[in-house]
Amino acid sequence: MKIEILRDRCISSGNCVELAGKVFAQSEDDSKVILVGGDESDDPQVREAAILCPVGAILIDGELP
């Protein structure tokens, strides 16, 4: 699945990092989400992280889950 981050929406809750720390991290600059390891993953936790994002900052295959 292709992952896209909408950093302008991110509020740094960290849910995504807790669920899928191999895919997401928080930047040192502003603590907003960043992708690690590229913008594609088959990790099922990525979809869960997108679902649990309180502000919809993670798109999967171009859409909100």
**Partners of 58 in the beta sheet?**
5
Give pLDDT, residue 13: 96
User: Domain coordinates of the chain in residue numbers?
Assistant: 3-60
CATH number for the domain formed by residue range(s) 3-60: 3.30.70.20
For residues 63 and 11, give the distance between their C-alpha atoms in angstroms, rounded to a whole number.
19
Give pLDDT, residue 65: 77
Torsion of CA 46, 51, 57, 60, to 10 degrees: 50
Which of 50, 60, 47 is closest to 10 using CA atoms? 50
Q: For 9-63, write each residue's pLDDT tens digit.
A: 999 999 999 999 999 999 999 999 999 989 999 999 999 999 999 999 999 999 9
What pTM was estimated for this model as a whole?
0.91
